[in-house]
Amino acid sequence: MGRYVQVEDNVKIYVEDIGEGIPVIFLHGWPANHLMFEYQYSILPKEGYRCIGIDFRGFGKSDAPWESYSFDRMADDLKAVIDELHIENAALIGFSMGGAVASRYMARHQGKGISHLALMGSATPVFTQRPDFEYNITKEDLNEQLIIPTYEDRPKMLSQFGLKFTHTKSKAPMMVWLESLCFQASNHGTIKAAESLRDEDLRGDLQHINVPTVIFQGQKDKICDPQLAELTQQSIAGSRLVEFEHSGHAMMFDEQEKFNSELLLFLNQMSRDNHTPRAASRNL
């Protein structure tokens, strides 16, 4: 079931709510939308989980205001959704930029409504290099590869970006589908969210995360270097790193079976931790 939640600045955020049971909130990567988790939505409700997919402002079916694409603003949008849906003891799943927003939410809003966190190919602790941070892409390269081409030829940018997304060449048809999701984003939302990826720094946020956390990372990732996952794990006390040896950035496509298995393992442990019975499994 789809619905809209109106947030503080009169922007409407689209939310897809599927199934019943323990809530699992999905935050998509740049510049896709909630549908990138289609192959989790088709499985988890059978296992007693309620899947809540959110389109960030500027992406998918959500409104696309001209301004306000900071991680603070997107974390506030997430809080508005959690408050509106009265969500408690949920798992928060953040992929790539979604992982960055999830981390900001956990620090900025003290993890309200969230009992467990999963960061996947996460753009944390910092996506671009700084004088005191030598990992991943430079700000200049991000401008040249993502922002300037979006002003000039967004379809070409998306096509070239998509080439880095998976490691498995046989997944090319899946990437065509994913690219179609990225076309649904607004042009200015794509640019301004990329500017946030370029400029934001989450090193101060990670130390405030105090819920059980798992980190999924493709070892062939060409977008978020695997070293970022190691640094993220070091920054979040008690977190666990799951490596996907044969995956690029999008391990949910490269190693779909392992991804779903590890995600269910994490969620089932959450259910035990919270002493929360899942909705009855349904073999649909």
Average pLDDT, the chain: 95
| Active site annotation includes 254 | no
Peptide bond into 31 cis (omega under 30): yes
Per-residue model confidence (pLDDT) at position 252: 96
> Given this model, what pLDDT does residue 280 score?
56
Domains in the chain, start-ordered, CATH in brackets? 2-274 (3.40.50.1820)
Tokens 């073999």 sit on residue: 283
Is residue 109 among the annotated active site residues? no
DSSP string, 70-94: SHHHHHHHHHHHHHHTT--SEEEEE
pLDDT < 70 regions, the chain: 279-284
**Regarding beta strands 49-54 and 22-27, do their DSSP bridges make them parallel or antiparallel, or are they unpaired?**
parallel
Strand ordering across the sheet containing 240-244: 2-6, 12-18, 49-54, 22-27, 90-95, 114-120, 213-218, 240-244
* 96 included as an active-site residue: yes
Catalytic residue among 34, 116, 167, 249: 249
- Position 284 scores a pLDDT of 38
Cα–Cα distances in Å, from 96 out to 9, 178, 215, 217?
25, 15, 11, 10
Query: Which residue is catalytic, options 76, 77, 221, 254?
Result: 221
Candidate list 55, 62, 96, 103, residue with the active-site label: 96
- What are 32-66's pLDDT values in tens digits? 999 999 999 999 999 999 999 999 999 999 999 99
